[in-house]
Amino acid sequence: MEKDFFEMVYQVVRLIPQGRVTSYGAIAKYLGSAKSSRIVGYAMNGSHQQKILVPAQRVVNRNGLLTGKIHFATPNTMQELLEQEGVKIKNDKVVDFEELFWDPSEELKL
């Protein structure tokens, strides 16, 4: 199966506070594989398969760009959800991304 890596990714993503965002690399790094950022994105691809809803809209790339919005129900869903949580989006990218950035390695630590 997709195994623990995916599960861990989902866990971390669910732990992201509302109105906050993080990056694939941060999650991958927290999981121990900083180079596996792609896998994190891939995991998000199957997030909709999970029984529990995964706030994948809070996960963006390092640029704060909503690269994965196209994988949502509609390319506008991601932005809509983020705006609902108070995150402002400009040109498909998070406003004040650095401030809203939520690093699991810093917040959750070990």
Partner DNA sequence: GTAATGACCTTGG
Partner DNA sequence: ACCAAGGCCATTA
Residues forming the site for DNA (CB under 7 A): 1-3, 5-6, 23-25, 28, 33-42, 44-45, 47-48, 56-57, 59, 61-63, 67-72, 78
- Residue closer to DNA, measured from CB, 63 or 90: 63
* CA triple 29-11-21, angle to 5 deg: 65
Q: Which residues contact 78 (CB under 8 A, 6 or more apart)?
A: 56, 57, 66, 68, 69, 72
Q: Between 7 and 96, whose beta carbon lies closer to DNA? A: 7
- List phi, psi (to 5°) of 60: -130, 175
CB of 21 to DNA, least distance (A): 11
Question: What is the smallest separation between the CB atom of 69 and DNA, expressed in angstroms?
Answer: 7
Indicate the helix (H) or strand (E) that contains 90. Answer: strand 89-90
Q: How far is the CB of 88 from DNA (least distance, A)?
A: 18
